[in-house]
Amino acid sequence: MIGRILVVDDEKALVLAVSGLLKKEGYQVDVAHSGEEALEKIEPGAFHLVITDLSLGGVTGMDVLAKVREVDAETAVIMITAYGSEKIAVEAMKLGASDYIPKPFDNDEMRVVVRKVMETALLRRDHQRLLEQVQEVYGFEQIVGTSRPMQAVYAMIEKVADTDVTVLIRGASGTGKELVANAIHYRSPRRSRPMVKMNCAALSQELVESELFGHERGAFTGATQRAAGRFEQASGGTLFLDEIGDMPVEAQTRLLRVLQEGEFTTVGGRAPIKANTRIIAATHRDLGQAVRHGLIREDLFHRLNVVPIRMPPLRRRAEDIPDLMRKFLAEAEAEGLPAKSLDGAAVERLQRHLWPGNVRELKNLVRRLAVLYSQEVITADVVEAELAEEHAGDAAPGQADSLGEAVERHLRVYFEAHGDGLPPSGLHGRIVREVERPLIALSLAATGGNQIRAAQLLGLNRNTLRKKIRTLDIKVVRGVK
């Protein structure tokens, strides 16, 4: 990028000399022969660097500096000072000037100072541009949905983003907990600092403390050099602890100490290190139940659960499915997969599905449809066949345990969605309604659409099964099994 510079001085000879020198260095140069003229030219993004004499008639160099700070804080300022005004130049640097050059100066000095300040200014703008791009990738734009449950999530993100409070994101797998953590960080004052992520379920008990807090050389076998942990890597930024419900109890004790005292020590270390890190945690588990079973420390749970955000399962926001589907189809097309769309009946079928895998399951299904089918418009029959095939793997003939596992999965998803606050009245009927449709669909898929065999597998009368198929609007796909 070619740097753009504004040279300001009421001495025309100096303006001519400096601008000529900088043009030879390859910069784009504009000039102003007074402070007033400079103020008119200073606009957001107009210049990377302003070089101004400190002593100007009327509007001074300090006025020019104030204008730059007000209009575009990313623009650097170099002051040209007369003999004896170095103290004022130092004051200008305290107010935001990048450097100063005393008169008289030679060309080499001007070149060196301008090059140094310009490189820093360009790097700062590149950093800001990358930060904005990251915010586009990780901000609200990646969280799709206009349903009431998602509007509540957006409102919580807005409330907590500008604070340093600890946030606990709860929800089933595939609901988008990490996207919410990203949005909170990249909308916060810490967005220019690192966001470090750690999956607590992916590490062994022996490694989790070293990963969190780092270790010193010789702290344990294989520790051949000092290594910074996630807390140190995230200094000034955010540490995202995913699947916090799977953290070993021993590591929970040290994590609690960090949250309480604001400092930690490395494994094998003695000197405490300040922890200037915001914590965002996430879990798919019922932490209240985990506390009762002794899997999570109660005091740690309360430290983490300062601001809870509950991610709704996809079946509770079915109106968001069309937007999600279009997003995933567009992403697949951008990656070179064939362009596809779904007809209205296919979308309606997707909205009736229970989505035990939530948004992740929908994304995988959409990509599978884009790859496996030649027609440009996907119909409801195709969607039904894919959903049946997807769940048939859980219910192959002669494998009754697979059906039981499927029921258990749907029950787990149901309880995760409702939590402990579900009233006991009508619980059995609620669970039956949640499980009955996918259970019948699985049975039909397992028997190739043979309703007699499916009824036998379910222990139902054939007429009862037919009635339930009609009532629950289950599509029967026939095939050899």
pLDDT digits 0-9 by tens, 404-416: 555 555 555 555 5
104 and 200 share one domain: no
pLDDT digits 0-9 by tens, 9-24: 988 999 999 999 999 9
274 and 168 share one domain: yes
Model pLDDT, residue 481 = 45
Q: How sure is the predictor about 401, in pLDDT bands with cuts at 50, 70 and 90?
A: very low
383 and 437 share one domain: no
345 and 481 share one domain: no
Query: Is the pLDDT at 380 greater than 50, yes or no?
Result: yes
Model pLDDT, residue 450 = 86
Is residue 104 reached through a cis peptide bond, with omega within 30 degrees of 0 on the bond before it? yes
Token pair of 17, please? 């000399």
pLDDT digits 0-9 by tens, 137-170: 555 667 899 999 999 999 999 999 999 999 999 9
Q: How many helices (H) and strands (E) does the chain have?
A: 20, 14
Model pLDDT, residue 226 = 86
Query: Is the pLDDT at 420 greater than 60, yes or no?
Result: no
Model pLDDT, residue 197 = 93
360 and 421 share one domain: no
How many angstroms separate the CA atoms of 135 and 183, rounded? 8
163 and 201 share one domain: yes
Mean pLDDT of 452-457: 85
Query: Is the pLDDT at 6 greater than 90, yes or no?
Result: yes
Model pLDDT, residue 400 = 40
Q: How sure is the predictor about 396, in pLDDT bands with cuts at 50, 70 and 90?
A: very low
192 and 211 share one domain: yes
Higher pLDDT, residue 124 or 311: 311
- DSSP letter, residue 476: P
Give, rounded to a whole angstrom, the gap between the first and last alpha carbons of the chain: 64
Q: How sure is the predictor about 394, in pLDDT bands with cuts at 50, 70 and 90?
A: very low
Query: Is the pLDDT at 191 greater than 70, yes or no?
Result: yes
221 and 331 share one domain: no
- DSSP letter, residue 318: G
**Mean per-residue pLDDT of the chain:** 84
Q: Residue 63 burial by CB count (10 A; 0-12/13-18/19+): exposed, middle or buried?
A: middle
Phi then psi dihedrals of residue 72, to 5 deg: -150, 95
The amino acid occupying position 224 is: T
What's the domain range around 445?
A: 400-481
Interacting residues of 165 by C-beta distance below 8 A, sequence separation 6+ = 306, 307
Domain CATH for 360: 1.10.8.60
How many angstroms separate the CA atoms of 454 and 445, rounded? 9
pLDDT above 70: percentage of residues in the chain: 86
Q: How sure is the predictor about 479, in pLDDT bands with cuts at 50, 70 and 90?
A: low
Q: How sure is the predictor about 423, in pLDDT bands with cuts at 50, 70 and 90?
A: very low
197 and 325 share one domain: no
Query: Is the pLDDT at 419 greater than 60, yes or no?
Result: no
Domain CATH for 148: 3.40.50.300
How many angstroms separate the CA atoms of 42 and 57, rounded? 18
The separation between CA 64 and the C-alpha centre of its own chain, rounded to angstroms, equals 39
Q: How sure is the predictor about 469, in pLDDT bands with cuts at 50, 70 and 90?
A: confident
pLDDT digits 0-9 by tens, 195-226: 899 999 887 777 888 889 999 888 888 888 88
322 and 233 share one domain: no
pLDDT above 90: percentage of residues in the chain: 43
Mean pLDDT of 106-120: 91
- Which of 310, 342, 370 marks a domain boundary? 310
How many angstroms separate the CA atoms of 121 and 47, rounded? 10
pLDDT digits 0-9 by tens, 32-87: 999 999 999 998 888 999 999 988 878 888 999 999 989 888 899 999 988 667 77
Total domain count for the chain? 4
- Which of 367, 392, 417 marks a domain boundary? 392
Model pLDDT, residue 271 = 86
Query: Is the pLDDT at 327 greater than 50, yes or no?
Result: yes
Residue pair 347/378 in contact by the 8 Å Cβ criterion: no
Helix (H) or strand (E) holding 478: none
The amino acid occupying position 409 is: R
205 and 296 share one domain: yes
Distances (CA, A) of 78 to 11, 41, 62, 96, 144: 17, 17, 11, 10, 46
- 393: nearest Cα among 455, 481, 460: 481
Token pair of 427, please? 């619980």
- Which of 392, 416, 438 marks a domain boundary? 392
119 and 199 share one domain: no
